[in-house]
């Protein structure tokens, strides 16, 4: 049985952990070496955040490697597969913009999350900038890159609504204000990139809105299997 303290650090830590793992999947596959290093840097920043946050909720290794799928509280957005490079950038743009706004708010507060948020917000600002720079270049690039970037934004749009659902323990956050600020920023960047902000519901017909309750999408099981199999096969192994 894994001891888990009820704290908002758990869902936020799961976001960072799972997105870190997804970005790590680019190692050896990124379009160019320079970009591979950039994605790995972002992944490592997120892993560092995850370690601090999960340690507030319990034992970081137990939480990462021994929980079942239904016990993870991350957003469904961050577990979505990397897809092509445009999908990865769209996921980064949506999530980093959200994370920066949320951490800015938390950093100004008094909660146990304030110190971590204050440190992480500088990292996240860079993640958001990285995603914005690529969004602009892909959107305002060739016909092919524009088409792919728009397709990625449209595909992931249905997972963005969940970000603004209230999180237990973060009652001081005004989620509607956060949502407005997020929409303003993303709209501005997409305009600069000659892309169109997707229309339609920000949640899927049956899946979205449930990651925080432990309901995840199909690709998440395979991600967990890869992330956890070593620890489960060789408990306590060291090198």
Residues that bind other proteins (CB under 8 A): 25-26, 29, 31-35, 37-38, 41, 80-85, 87, 129-130, 133, 137, 144, 152, 155-156, 158-159, 204-208, 217, 219, 222
Looking at the Cβ atoms of 38 and 116, the one nearer to other proteins is 38
Nearest to 73 by CA among 3, 17, 1, 24: 17
- In the complex, what is the shortest distance from the CB of residue 170 to other proteins, in angstroms, rounded to a whole number? 26
- In the complex, what is the shortest distance from the CB of residue 99 to other proteins, in angstroms, rounded to a whole number? 19
Looking at the Cβ atoms of 29 and 70, the one nearer to other proteins is 29
Q: Torsions phi, psi of 81, nearest 5?
A: -60, 160
**What is the chain's Cα-based Rg?**
17
- In the complex, what is the shortest distance from the CB of residue 140 to other proteins, in angstroms, rounded to a whole number? 12
Looking at the Cβ atoms of 17 and 156, the one nearer to other proteins is 156
Looking at the Cβ atoms of 142 and 233, the one nearer to other proteins is 142
Looking at the Cβ atoms of 26 and 95, the one nearer to other proteins is 26
- In the complex, what is the shortest distance from the CB of residue 58 to other proteins, in angstroms, rounded to a whole number? 30
Looking at the Cβ atoms of 40 and 197, the one nearer to other proteins is 40
Instruction: Decide if 18 contacts 223 (C-beta within 8 A).
Output: yes
- In the complex, what is the shortest distance from the CB of residue 32 to other proteins, in angstroms, rounded to a whole number? 4
- In the complex, what is the shortest distance from the CB of residue 160 to other proteins, in angstroms, rounded to a whole number? 12
């Amino acid at each position: 049985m894994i001891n888990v303290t009820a704290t908002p650090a758990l869902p936020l830590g799961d976001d960072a952990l799972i997105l870190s793992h997804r970005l790590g999947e680019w190692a050896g596959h990124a379009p160019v070496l320079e970009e591979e290093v950039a994605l790995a840097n972002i992944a490592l920043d997120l892993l560092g955040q995850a370690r601090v946050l999960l340690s507030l909720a319990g034992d970081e290794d137990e939480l990462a490697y021994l929980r079942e799928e239904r016990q993870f509280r991350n957003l469904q957005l961050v577990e979505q597969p990397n897809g092509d490079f445009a999908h990865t950038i769209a996921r980064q743009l949506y999530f980093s913009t959200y994370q920066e706004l949320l951490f800015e708010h938390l950093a100004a507060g008094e909660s146990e999350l304030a110190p971590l948020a204050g440190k992480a917000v500088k990292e996240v600002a860079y993640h958001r900038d990285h995603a914005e720079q690529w969004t602009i270049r892909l959107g305002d690039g060739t016909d092919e890159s524009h088409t792919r970037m728009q397709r990625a934004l449209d595909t992931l749009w249905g997972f963005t609504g969940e970000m603004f659902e209230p999180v237990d323990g973060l009652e001081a956050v005004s989620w509607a204000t956060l949502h407005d600020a997020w929409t303003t920023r993303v709209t501005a960047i997409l305009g600069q990139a000659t892309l169109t902000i997707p229309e339609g519901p920000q949640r899927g017909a049956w899946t979205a809105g449930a990651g925080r309750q432990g309901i995840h999408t199909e690709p998440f099981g395979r991600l967990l299997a890869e992330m956890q199999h070593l620890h489960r096969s060789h408990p306590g192994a060291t090198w």
